[in-house]
Structures are given as C-alpha cells and as structure tokens.
Structure 1
C-alpha cells in the first residue's frame, strides 16, 4: 500500500498533464478563413485546418513547442508555444500572401507542398500565374512523384493530358506529335536516347502545350516538356527515403536544404539518388546514381544568383522493346511474352550525364530587371547491343520466316556537348490605363559532337566469296546453310525458342563507321509585351530565329547552312471572375530539316522546314479557395512539310515531304485539394491527329502513329487527420489509353485501363508507403513501332518505401 498510493498519484499527474490543448483559427489578410493549412508541432505532429480555418491539438504534454504554419501562396510562419499543465490555449493567425513570384528566374525554391502549382517561368520568361498565361500548361509536382513513388519521367506522364509514351526512351507523343528536344529550367539540352531521366532533383515537370517556338526557337508543334530542378529553400528541410519492391527494386533518395548563414543570404540544396534494380523485361537492369548540389546566393534584395550541378550515371542495357511473330503468322501481340527481349547477356549501355547551370537575376529598379542563365550539358555513351535488323530472317526463296528475327550488333562510343544561353531584360511600365511587362532578349543554343566518336555495325548475310552484304540485290551470292537458307553475319534470334549467351563479338564481321564532328547552333531575338487593362490581358510576342547547321566541322571546306523564320505569338485573357479566366491564342512552330536531308544528294533535298500553327481557346480556374486548379483547352494544329521515307526500292535513302497533318481536340487538367485532406490530380484528352494531305491517297485520313483518340486518368489520396487512425492515407488511381496505330498499317496497339492503389501511414517524422501498381495485372502496351519493336507496360508490381524527415 505504501507504494500504491504514490504510484496512483504519479499516474494521475501524468493523465492530468496530458489534458493540455492548442486550437485556433487561421485567416488571410481579409479575415477570410483558410482551409487546408498545414500545421506542425516540433516537426512531427501535424494537422490541417478545416473549412472554417479551425485547427486543434488535443492531449498535449506540457512543454515548449515549435509551431510551423505553411500553405500554398502564403508566407510561412513559425512560433514558439509554451503550454502549462491543463492549459487550453487558443491562438489565431493571419497569413500574408507570399512574395515568391518576385523572382523572374526561379532561383530560390518553391515552398508549397501541393499537387497544385501557381506559377510558371518558362512559358513567358517571367514569373506569371498559370491562369494568366494564354496557353494550356500541364504540370506534375514533386508531391505527386512522392505519392506515386515515381522515379523516372516516364512514370509520371500519365498525369498529363494529351501526352503518352512513344517508347521506353525519353520519347513521347504530345497532342499526336512525337516529341523532340528536351528542356531543363527552360534551357534546351541533349535528348537522351535510352536512359530515362531521374526525378530525384526535379521540382516539377511542365508541359507547355502546342507550338512554342516564339519562346523556345525551333520545336515540335505538340508541345515542350520542361523539367524544373529543385532550388534551395531558406527553410531547414531534410529527408531520406528508402524504397524496395518488385523486380528486385532497391532505391534510396535524400534531399537536404536550408540556409548556410543566419542572414539567409546563402542557401543550399543537395539531392542524392541511387538505384540497383531489375525489370520485368528479360536481361534488363537499372543501375544509376545522381549527385545534385545547388547553391543560391542572395547578397542584396536586388540580386539573386543560383548555381546547379547535376552528375548522373546510368549502367544498364538499351531495351529496344518486344518483338512478335511476323505478319505472315498473324498480328498476335501475345505470340511472345511481354518480358521478351533480344539482348545478349554481355550487352551494355553506360551513360554519363553532367550539367551545370548558372543563373542571375538583378533588379536595377522596381521597373527594370536583367535575367540571364547559362547551361553546359555533357553526355557520354558507351554501348554494345544486340538488336533487330528491323526485318525477319529470309529463307532460300527470299521469303520471310516469321519466327526468326534478323539481328545486328552495334558498338558505339560518342559524346555530345550542349551550350545554352538565355539573356533578357524585363521592363514594367504604364501608358495611361495600360500596364506593360515587356521582355526583350536573346537566346543562343549550340550542340556539337566532337571528333573521336565512332560506331561499328555487324549485320547482313555472309557472301559465298567472303565478306557480308545487306543489299537484297546480292541474294544470289549469299552463302547458304545445310537447309538452303542464307547464313547471317549475326545469328538469327529464334522467337519460338530463345537462348541468351555471352556473345563472342570476334565471330562477327564489323563495318567501321567513324562519326564525323557535327555542330549546329541557333539563336533568336525576341520581344514580348504582357498588357493588362481592367479585366483584359493581351500577350504580344515575336521572335526572329536563325538555325545553322555546320558540315565538315573544323575542316578546310567547312560550310554552314542557315534556315530562319519569324515566329509571332498572340494571346488574349479575360477575367470572368477573380477565380476564372477565359483565353485564346495563336502560335507557330518551326522545325528545320536535318543536315542529311539538306545536303545528301541521295535523300532528294533540300527540303522546306517543318512549320505549324495553332489556334487554341480555353478556360482556367481556381476553386475551393484556390486549393484546386483546372484548365480546359480546345485546339487545332496544322503541321506542314513532314519528311517520310519514299520507299523507293532503288534508293532506300530517298525521302519525300508528306504534305500536311492535323491535330484537333480538347483537354482537361485538374490539380490540387478538394478537401483539406483530399488531394487529386486528374486529366482527360480527346485528340484526333491525322494525315490530312499527302501525295499518297491511301495515307489521307489515317490516324498518326501512337496518337490515341482518348486518354486520361486520375490519382487521389485521402488522409485521416484525427482519431485513432490519424496519419493514415489511402490512395487510388487509374489511367486509360485508347487503341493506337503503329508504323505497320495492319498492327494496332489495343486500349487499356490500369488501376493503382496504395496505403501510407505518417507517424512522428516517419512516413511508410505501400503502392500496388496495375492491381488487376492488365497486359498492355504503352507504345510501339511495329512487329519488331513493341513496348509493353509493367505487370502487377509493388513498391514499399520508408521515409524520414528531420
């Protein structure tokens, strides 16, 4: 009894001490409640405000708490709260609108933690609210990456309307047109053929829809994909994440950011990533790492400087896709399993990507600022691959054998270097009732392949007198085996009975092909004016673009071929309400023909550049107190002078200009929060992309390759914010793509619908997530060329991650 009484007193004291609470209301500067505000105590215990802006913490221990308050579009607040025993403390807060948009170049990071993004920098080269840009802009934020456990760019394009994968490479269809150049922070870099870019250092992926040459120079008509890297924050944030899953997946990422000094004039960020994983595809593997430091220097309130460095290494195999049995055996996509690949065991693709960016923003006054960014980008590749020769084996009569794939071997070493400079002034002025934001600038882009690159090819059939040939005219001289069939230089791959070996490259006859030094450079001068008058906004812009291809680089007979074009841009925005804008736009694109098409006499050129124009109308809105953003767009694109192979038997290099292609349709994108604890991203696209004019009547009206008529999807996450299951999150998503044509007229990729589901739990500073992709194990193809190269999607698989923030 002597011990029992003190023990009861201690337990009573503890129970009493846990009855402290903290509550209050959070409003904006107009005293309007803000729902969905994120509140953290000591960095680990959190809640969200309800629709009335009310928050509450119950059963708190008497102690000192560091209270952090954050919400998209508002300045963060931090308070130190002292709670005594049994105290029920009420604290109300007023949040001030964030001034993040003052930087004209994105030098310091985005503070928001939401599916919704407020601003775009690349679309107008100024910090402009997305709803004020007269052009459709879709995006996917890092918060979506995290909830979908996405690791590569290909993992997240399903969240963007009108964009779908063309292959496994960094290769997409946008509004029915195959993508071309790659952009990082609005600067053009070398497109990677093979390695899919990692997302560990990416803040968001933006797709600026339709022709964008007035901003970016030569580009495709479907749109421009821009990857925005993470920038330093003044807030101290650190996190590390470990992921494992199907196909022996092992990944880890880390993200550290904060201020180096007390004045917060020197900020840093460091992103790290590592992966060692297999694939559902035979012999495929992913080994990669990334080191990405970034520093922002803010010496005064007028000058901002940022430096990024990204080092990435890829080590795997180049996956050329799934081959199926030939046309004479039917069009059965399931004649080979989706895991089926043609590589040999000792194939490899090793790639190194290094790029650095230096950006400067300086305000001479409140009305004049100067902005410049320079990027150096280097890509090196070392490759050995067994792949198809894009045709089936032939027998002694010259007929195709649909179960034997013709093969070739490629060895390649090469390097590409890209330099990109963008410099411009921003002037703000008034003429009467008109507000002007004028941009005037200059862009320079150069890409080159230095001397020293080379390839070697082993392909074709052996000749009776020795040597090999790829020319069908030599059929009568092919060496025959005991069955009377031609003997290949590289053994055929048996689709019905595949075998994988350590290939002996010395057994093949190679043709050496040194790569000549290549270089192109392009530059443009542009002027743009964003004019505001009452509820109207007008965007007027024009760019003069000069594209230069250099032949015989660094030789005495070096010669430059120039193609140029003036590119206008016109847009109009009308604010129906403070939350809803209507817009219309007219833009053009310009894509020069390749160097070979202009200079090779066998090709049949020179040819006119590819040109396109677009008319687009739409509406943009913000709902649920600006927590949810939506974009609806209706468009028509006309593309001219497309080059295709002439299919001339006597000259396989001969090209022809197809005439005209059309793309028309509508798109819808939704991103943000419906409830304070329900986040959503959803999209739908109807796109009719067809060949509208051609000198081949059979082509007219045919839908373009890998251009689905319908596609869309959604992904949502609901998090419980109170009760015994506080911190538990449930996610559900689905995406669908309708049937698509390939380059083979008789082969079509079927439609598919995929469902993903997951659960997560956040406790203290830990977050545990489990995601099941392709829940119903649907066999599907995300893209494809023809019988010899199809690209199946992953079967049912899981990912499980554990993250810790500190």
Structure 2
C-alpha cells in the first residue's frame, strides 16, 4: 500500500485550498522511507474565486448565469481583516460608501440588506452589519424585483451566514491594535452523531474611535443545530447582537465648497455621555428536502427583534461666534430616540429539474415570500441657540470644543412622541431556465402585494416585475450574457395623502445589460465585463401649480426619469500557484433625464446624483512564500470626485492597505494595516451643516488564531 506523507503545514495548505477544515490533517506522519512526498504547489489557488452563486435563487456556475453577482469569499474577508460591511466595498465594482450601512450602487442610493435570501436585517437604524458569523457576501447588481420584491434598482446585499456542517472545526482568536483595540473570538463546529451537527461562536471587540469621545464595543453570540433525517435537513440558528457605540450617532466634519475640512477630523459634535446602543436577537429555521428525484424544496422562517437607543447632539448650523468672518462653531440639537423593530420573514422555493434530451435541460422555480415588520419610534428633541442658554444645548466650537459643559440632565426636554409604522410585503414568483446545448435562456415573473401603515394612515397596492436573460457558452471557458429586469418601490406612506394628489403608483426601474464572462486557464482567471443602462421612473416631485385643488395641501406629481449608464470589470485570478489578485473597476454616469424643472428628485444635485462617483477602482493582491509560510497582501481603493447632497465637492481619494499573514500548522497570525499612508480624506458627503464623512486614518492590528 502506498502511503503519502504530508506534513502539518502542507496538510493545512491543502485543507485551505480545498475548503476542507484543518481537522482533516493526518494524526501521524509515516517515516520518510515509507512514503512518497506530495509537493503542494501553491497556497493561493482558489482563495478568492467563487464556483457557484446562489442569490439568483437557482444556484449556478457564474459562467451559466445572466445575472451579475459579486461574491466576497470568506478567505478574502479574513485576509483583509474585514470586521464590518464598510470594509468590503473596495471589492465590488460600482458600490461605494454613502452613509452608515447605506451605499451608492450603480449611481443609486441603496439600503436593501438580506440574510440567507430573506429580509430581516438585525442592524436596525444606524448600525453597520458585522461579519463575524458570515460565510460570504453576495451583491446582486441591478433591479431585483422579480427575485426579491420591492427595492432600489442598483442592487442588494445578501449575507450568507455560517451554518453547522458534518465536519469538526474549532478555532480561537485574539487581537490587539492601536487606539486601545482588543478583542477575541471562538468558534466550534462538531458532528454529534445520529444525524445531528452543531456550531457555536462568540465574538467581542472593543476599540476607541479616531473621533474624540467616540468608541465601539461589539459582542456577538451565534449558535446553530442541524438535523439530517435522510430526505431532508432542518437547520436552526440563533444570534444575539450587542453593540455599544460611545458618543454616537456620528455625523461628518464640516467642509467648504471645495471639499476641504474646516477642522480636524477628530472633532465630534457629540458629548462624552452620548451613545448609540443596539440589542438585536435573531431566530431562523430552514428546511431543505429532496422529496423525489429532480425536485428540491426549501423553506426558511426568520424572526428579528431589535432595539436601537440613541442620545446625541445633532449639528444644526454653522455660525461665526466672534465676528471675524470665519465659521467657527455650530448650533446643536439634542435628540433622544429609540427605535424598536420586530420582523418576520418567510420564503419557500420549489425547483424541478429535468433532462429533456441529449443536450436539453429545464429547471423551473416556483416560490413565495412574505415579510412583516412593525416599527416603534420614540423621540424627542431640543434645539439650542448660537449662544449658551440655560435649559438648552450649548453650541460647540469647531476649533476649541469644550466637552462636558452641556448636560442633557439640565435640558428643558419635551415629552416623548411615539410613531407606529408597519410594512407588509408578499410575493409569488415563477422562473424557468432552459438549456439547449450552449444556450441558456431564463424568463421569470413575479406578483407582489404590499401594505404600508403609519399611525391611522395606510396604503396598499400591488405590482408585477419581469426578468429575462440569455447566455451563450462560446466555449466552456467563455460566455456571453444579456438580461432585462425590472424593479419597483412603493412611494413613502407620507406621500400617499389624497389631499396631496395621492395615492401614487410605485417608482419603477428597469435594466438592459450585457457582457462577457471568462473562466480561463482551467478557471484560474474569472472575469466579468458588463455594460448596462438602468432607468428609474415615476419619481415624486412637487407640483409646480402648488395646490391646484385649493384644499390647503400642496400637491405632488409622479413624473420624471433618472438614467444610469456604465460599465464594470471584475476579475479574480491565480496568476501563479502562489500569487492571487482581484480587480474591481466601474465607470458610471447617473443623470436626471426627465423632470418638471421644479423640485428635483431626492439625492439629486443639479443633473447629477449625490455620492455617485464616475470612477471607482479597487484591487487586492496576495503572494505566498512557500517555505516560511508567509504571505504578503496589498490593496488599494480609489473613488473619483463626488458631490454631497448640498452640492459641495467631495474630493477624490486613493488609499492603500496591507496585510502580512503567517501560517504554520494550526497557527495563523495576521498583521493588518488600513490606510497605510495615513491619508486624510472624505469617504462621502452629506449636507452642509453636518459635513462630509471622514475616512478612517491609519489603523494597525494583530490577530492570532489557533485552529483544531
């Protein structure tokens, strides 16, 4: 019998390249004269490439799909030391930071976030999704109405959570960094026998912010149980999120019209006692089955209960405090807020697959999803003046801020007001995919019903969306694709007042897109080149006639069109067995193409849109030195000039990051440096009184991990 000897380090390399856990390493090493040694030729292979995409509801090889879906793999997240969603945008062409968890996607502001294909984001309000219990992140580009219901036409995030598997795996990690950063995490996954498997994990991290008074403390507890009973699998998951952000909610730094900050980026408009705290709990159950040959079925139920509480001082207007002509202070408004959300999501899919001939295959998807959300918003606020006034919030200097002198306990606060709102979303859809030789055709339709409620006001409606796509496999490694898809968004409930001209039909969107994909060199080079045009119509604007009905309420009219055009290049390549790289470039031009010439659409600035850069470039490259087990990685992120919501310039920027990774046997150490050259820049703009959002200065941290 031939015995193959693989030392611990090489076993680790094979496991990581194949996706197997490190527990697969052999327990003993035979003597050299009893074995033939296998030489592991590379560490980098397949680290950043995705062999399957799932956010299109029908799992597919990227080369066989007309959808454009960017996948951020678990290994890329680990190598970049990513902690939250904002750390990932460099890897996605056409996606850039807007504010908090919101992004600009292909020119449009986008905030749709899904977990395992369902609504129910546990990060309520102004918190940013963390990545500890995330296996991978998929971003579906363009209108996704037929697949996911109401949403913006730029795309949506789908976070795929970690679930129990039938292989043993365990690890513990500890981290230290600048700004008093420290933390740790632990995870274990184990088969329990009799068809059961379980996983559990905890994460904690504490860090001061570069903004004075501010900091963050995050705790996540994650658990799951899977039961495989032959024809079906049942997976149960529970997650708890606890995040305390000191001296938040953080707004920006005031800037001039040329994009220069008026004061240091350490400045904070909040008092030391201000806070933003989040408590969120998620329960999820998923059933997967194959009742008969060629038929698969899944059903997922997700529940989320989240409470976000905030006390903060909102900037309300710059002024000249000493008459020298220089804006040097801001009026502040104290806000006391609590947001509670309770959501239920349910989704089910049935897929029938049949071979209809020698080179003919058909897949039919039938699905249904439902989402209900109830929101309770308690709030009160009190605005100060441009001078110290008893019982009111003090103004704050930009250059010599005196914290701790304005105490909310002394404010003459009004009583809390409560707003109750709710959403109901329900959709039925069918999608057919037929493959005839090298040609793959997809066509689908969805019917949605929705109901929104605010106080005693409610509005309901329905809409239909379509999707059609075509793929031609020129060779097994090259495919051409094209698609047409639609989206819709119900108008805000506040705009449906009949006295203001309502009710109004939803805003609609559609896309025409085409491109080429490759999986060259045996799949070592994955690339997508896409060209698209997105149109967004039926946008509410103020009626230029004011109040034509004479009912005392100014009217709206649903009119207008915004067009987004662009192209994107995305690639992940194993240049050599030890060298891997990714590249993400996007060009976008989003403009108002039809308007009444009066009140412009939301987020528009002239004929352009806020925080919609024309050029965006991100790259990441990693080289593995085999013998010492060391890898070096380097990346960059460029965003071209933007405009804030008030039309102020947001300067272009380019920042660089680096990682040093050491792996030997069960040990892994990562040294991560963000903003390597400590560049001062604005990531995006907002409004004049609250300024531009500053980018993170240089941060350094060390993370050490042991695996079993």
Determine if contact 1:621/1:629 at 8 Å carries over to the other structure.
yes
The verdict on how the C-alpha distance between 1:428 and 1:760 changes in structure 2, with shifts beyond 3 A counting, is: closer
CA distance in structure 2 between the aligned counterparts of 1:728 and 1:374, rounded to whole angstroms: 43
CA distance in structure 2 between the aligned counterparts of 1:790 and 1:645, rounded to whole angstroms: 28
2:475 partner SS = coil
The verdict on how the C-alpha distance between 1:612 and 1:713 changes in structure 2, with shifts beyond 3 A counting, is: same
Match of 2:697 among 791, 795, 802: 795
The verdict on how the C-alpha distance between 1:281 and 1:652 changes in structure 2, with shifts beyond 3 A counting, is: farther
2:367 partner SS = strand
Structure 1 position 172, deviation (Å): 0.7
1:334 partner SS = coil
Deviations 1:697-727 (A, max 9, x none): 89797221101000111111111113xxx20
- Alignment partner, residue 494 of structure 1: 397
CA distance in structure 1 between the aligned counterparts of 2:553 and 2:701, rounded to whole angstroms: 47
Match of 1:642 among 539, 544, 563: 539
Match of 1:738 among 640, 643, 648: 640
Larger radius of gyration: 1
CA distance in structure 1 between the aligned counterparts of 2:454 and 2:337, rounded to whole angstroms: 21
The verdict on how the C-alpha distance between 1:490 and 1:331 changes in structure 2, with shifts beyond 3 A counting, is: farther
CA distance in structure 2 between the aligned counterparts of 1:454 and 1:209, rounded to whole angstroms: 35
Does 2:643 match 1:717?
A: no
Does 2:372 match 1:446?
A: yes
1:187 partner SS = coil
Determine if contact 1:459/1:488 at 8 Å carries over to the other structure.
no
* Higher RCO, 1 vs 2 (CA within 8 Å, ≥6 residues apart): 2
TM-score, reference length from structure 2: 0.90
Shifted more, 372-381 versus 624-633: the winner is 624-633
Match of 1:293 among 209, 220, 223: 223
Structure 1 position 490, deviation (Å): 2.4
2:440 partner SS = strand
Shifted more, 487-496 versus 775-784: the winner is 487-496
2:663 partner SS = strand
Deviations 1:260-288 (A, max 9, x none): 12x6x212222221011101112111111
2:292 partner SS = coil
- Alignment partner, residue 129 of structure 2: 197
CA distance in structure 2 between the aligned counterparts of 1:77 and 1:527, rounded to whole angstroms: 41
Structure 1 position 796, deviation (Å): 1.9
Structure 1 position 186, deviation (Å): 0.7
Structure 1 position 438, deviation (Å): 0.6
Structure 1 position 675, deviation (Å): 2.1
Match of 2:608 among 685, 703, 710: 703
Determine if contact 1:694/1:700 at 8 Å carries over to the other structure.
no
1:145 partner SS = helix
The verdict on how the C-alpha distance between 1:395 and 1:803 changes in structure 2, with shifts beyond 3 A counting, is: closer
Does 2:382 match 1:458?
A: yes
1:221 partner SS = coil
The verdict on how the C-alpha distance between 1:22 and 1:715 changes in structure 2, with shifts beyond 3 A counting, is: farther
Determine if contact 2:631/2:662 at 8 Å carries over to the other structure.
yes
Match of 2:585 among 681, 684, 687: 684
Does 2:523 match 1:622?
A: no
Does 2:61 match 1:114?
A: no
Determine if contact 2:298/2:350 at 8 Å carries over to the other structure.
yes
CA distance in structure 1 between the aligned counterparts of 2:334 and 2:390, rounded to whole angstroms: 16
CA distance in structure 1 between the aligned counterparts of 2:63 and 2:216, rounded to whole angstroms: 39
Return 5+ residue gaps in structure 2 as ranges: none
Match of 2:629 among 727, 734, 741: 727
- Alignment partner, residue 387 of structure 1: 314
- Alignment partner, residue 597 of structure 1: 495
- Alignment partner, residue 233 of structure 2: 304
Structure 1 position 154, deviation (Å): 0.7
Does 2:329 match 1:404?
A: yes
Does 2:403 match 1:510?
A: no
CA distance in structure 2 between the aligned counterparts of 1:504 and 1:279, rounded to whole angstroms: 22
Structure 1 position 491, deviation (Å): 2.0
- Alignment partner, residue 443 of structure 2: 540
1:293 partner SS = strand
Deviations 1:299-332 (A, max 9, x none): 11x211111111010111433323326x6xx645
Determine if contact 2:321/2:329 at 8 Å carries over to the other structure.
no
- Alignment partner, residue 293 of structure 2: 366
CA distance in structure 2 between the aligned counterparts of 1:647 and 1:509, rounded to whole angstroms: 40
Deviations 1:106-144 (A, max 9, x none): xxxxxx972112222221x23222222211111211211
Does 2:675 match 1:769?
A: no
CA distance in structure 1 between the aligned counterparts of 2:183 and 2:485, rounded to whole angstroms: 42
Determine if contact 2:253/2:262 at 8 Å carries over to the other structure.
no
CA distance in structure 1 between the aligned counterparts of 2:335 and 2:104, rounded to whole angstroms: 27
- Alignment partner, residue 101 of structure 2: 170
TM-score, reference length from structure 1: 0.80
Structure 1 position 508, deviation (Å): 2.4
Structure 1 position 488, deviation (Å): 9.3
Return 5+ residue gaps in structure 1 as ranges: 1-20, 25-39, 50-67, 94-111, 462-479, 553-557
The verdict on how the C-alpha distance between 1:115 and 1:258 changes in structure 2, with shifts beyond 3 A counting, is: farther
CA distance in structure 1 between the aligned counterparts of 2:630 and 2:576, rounded to whole angstroms: 16
Does 2:36 match 1:89?
A: yes
Residues 54-453 of structure 1: pairs in structure 2 closer than 5 A: 71=18, 83-84=30-31, 86-89=33-36, 114-123=47-56, 125-167=57-99, 169-190=100-121, 192-261=124-193, 265-300=195-230, 302-317=231-246, 318-324=248-254, 331=258, 333-389=260-316, 391-393=317-319, 402-431=327-356, 434-450=360-376, 453=377
The verdict on how the C-alpha distance between 1:695 and 1:401 changes in structure 2, with shifts beyond 3 A counting, is: farther
Deviations 1:29-80 (A, max 9, x none): xxxxxxxxxxx645x444768xxxxxxxxxxxxxxxxxx6962699x98777
Match of 2:567 among 666, 677, 686: 666
- Alignment partner, residue 11 of structure 1: none
Structure 1 position 609, deviation (Å): 1.4
Structure 1 position 443, deviation (Å): 0.8
| Aligned positions, number | 691
Shifted more, 231-240 versus 505-514: the winner is 505-514
2:48 partner SS = coil
Determine if contact 1:395/1:486 at 8 Å carries over to the other structure.
no
2:697 partner SS = coil
1:128 partner SS = coil
Determine if contact 1:135/1:616 at 8 Å carries over to the other structure.
no
Structure 1 position 800, deviation (Å): 1.3
Structure 1 position 729, deviation (Å): 1.0
Determine if contact 1:692/1:700 at 8 Å carries over to the other structure.
no
Q: CA RMSD in A?
A: 3.3
CA distance in structure 1 between the aligned counterparts of 2:267 and 2:557, rounded to whole angstroms: 35
Deviations 1:458-480 (A, max 9, x none): 1265xxxxxxxxxxxxxxxxxx9
1:172 partner SS = strand
CA distance in structure 2 between the aligned counterparts of 1:147 and 1:493, rounded to whole angstroms: 41
Structure 1 position 197, deviation (Å): 1.3
Structure 1 position 454, deviation (Å): 1.7
